[in-house]
Structure 1
C-alpha cells in the first residue's frame, strides 16, 4: 500500500506519479521556507543548494527501490544548512564576503580594466555582449561596468547619456560615478570610506540629519558626493 514511499523493486507506474507529486510539493515547500532569495539570484551558495537538492531528490524519481524517508531527511538537513548560512551572511558582512562574490568593476570612467577582466574570467566578447544586453552599443557612453555577484554585467552610463530630467535642465551635473556603500547595517565599511571620504565627514553628514551611524541600515556616496541614506526601522530620529 505504501510502496510509493518505502520503495519496491516492481514499483507500479502510479507509484512514480505519486512520488513525483510528493517530491515536487516538498521542494516547493523548502523553497518557500527559504524565501525569494534562493529563486531570485543564483550565487555560489544557491547554486550548491540547487545541485545537491536536485541530486538527492532526483534519484528516487527514477529508482523505485529507494525509500523516500532518507532523501527527504537529507534534503531537509541541506535546507536547514542553507538557511543558516544565508542568515549568518545577512547578519555578518565579513562572513558574507566569504560565501558571496563582491561586485567587481571591469570598466571605470570608460576604460576597460584588463586585469579585472582576467580576474573575473570574462572575455572581451562576453563584456561586449553584456553591454549590448544593457542597450549599450557605443562604449564611449559607459562610465562604469560591474560584474555583479550573480555574474551579470550591470552598466552605469555617463551622465550626458542618461535621460534628461527637469532637474538636469536647471544645472550642470558632475559625473556621479560608482556609488560605494559607506555604512551597512549599522557598521562603517572602512575600506570604502577610505577611498572617497573620511569617517569624520560621514559622521558629520549623519549628525546634520539627526542620526548616528548605528541608526543607518545603508548609506552610500558616489564620486560627486551625492549621498543616499536609508535608516533602520528602529531608528528614532527622522528628517
Structure 2
C-alpha cells in the first residue's frame, strides 16, 4: 500500500510540475531538457519504490500511474470543467494582426518565437494573421487574413 500512496503523490507532483513548465516548453525541448526529463523518471522511480526492487513493487507503481492517467483522461472526457482544469485552454496570441502581449506573457512566449512559428507556417508578417492560437499541446495554429478582410464583418468575441 505504501508504494500506491507514494506513486499517487508522485503522479500529482509530476502533473503539477509539467503544468508549471507550460505548453511551449514541452513542445520545444532541447536535447539537454529531454535527458533531464528521462533522469527525472529515474528519480521518480526511486522515490516511489524506495528500496523495493521487486516485480510486484514495479507493477504496483506502474499500475498506479496508469490508473491516475486513465482517471484524468476519463474525467476530461465526461466533464468540460475537468477538461479545462486538466488540459488547459487554447489561448489567442494574435487577433486581427495584433500581437496580444498579455497572453504571450502568460505562456512565457516571445515575439521571436511566434515569428519563428509563422515562418515555418509560410507566413511573413504578423499583419497577415487574423488569428494565432496557442493550442493546449503547445503548437500554434494560424488563420490567415483573407484579401477582403478589412471590409468584412469580424467576430470580436474570439474564435469559435
2:159 alignment partner, one of 172, 179, 194: 179
Alignment of 1:157 onto 2:144: yes
User: Gaps (5+ residues) in structure 2?
Assistant: 1-17, 20-25, 27-36, 47-51
CA distance in structure 2 between the partners assigned to 1:56 and 1:124 by the alignment: 35
CA distance in structure 1 between the partners assigned to 2:59 and 2:76 by the alignment: 26
Taking the TM superposition and a 5 Å limit, the aligned residue runs for 1:69-108 are 69-108=56-95
1:127 alignment partner, one of 114, 131, 138: 114
Alignment of 1:68 onto 2:55: yes
How many corresponding residue pairs? 119
Superposed CA RMSD:
3.4
User: Gaps (5+ residues) in structure 1?
Assistant: 1-42, 60-64, 162-172, 181-239
- CA shift in 2, pair 1:175/1:70, >3 Å: farther
**TM-score, normalization: structure 1?**
0.43
CA distance in structure 2 between the partners assigned to 1:129 and 1:138 by the alignment: 11
CA distance in structure 1 between the partners assigned to 2:129 and 2:66 by the alignment: 41
Structure possessing the higher radius of gyration over alpha carbons: 1
Q: Which runs of 4+ in 1 moved over 4 A?
A: 56-59, 175-178
CA distance in structure 2 between the partners assigned to 1:149 and 1:100 by the alignment: 7
| CA-to-aligned-CA distance 1:34-72 (integer Å, 9 cap, x gap) | xxxxxxxxx84xx8xx97x9438977xxxxx92222112
**TM-score, normalization: structure 2?**
0.62
Q: Which has the higher contact order (CA 8 A, sep 6+)?
A: 2
Alignment of 1:111 onto 2:112: no
CA distance in structure 1 between the partners assigned to 2:153 and 2:107 by the alignment: 26
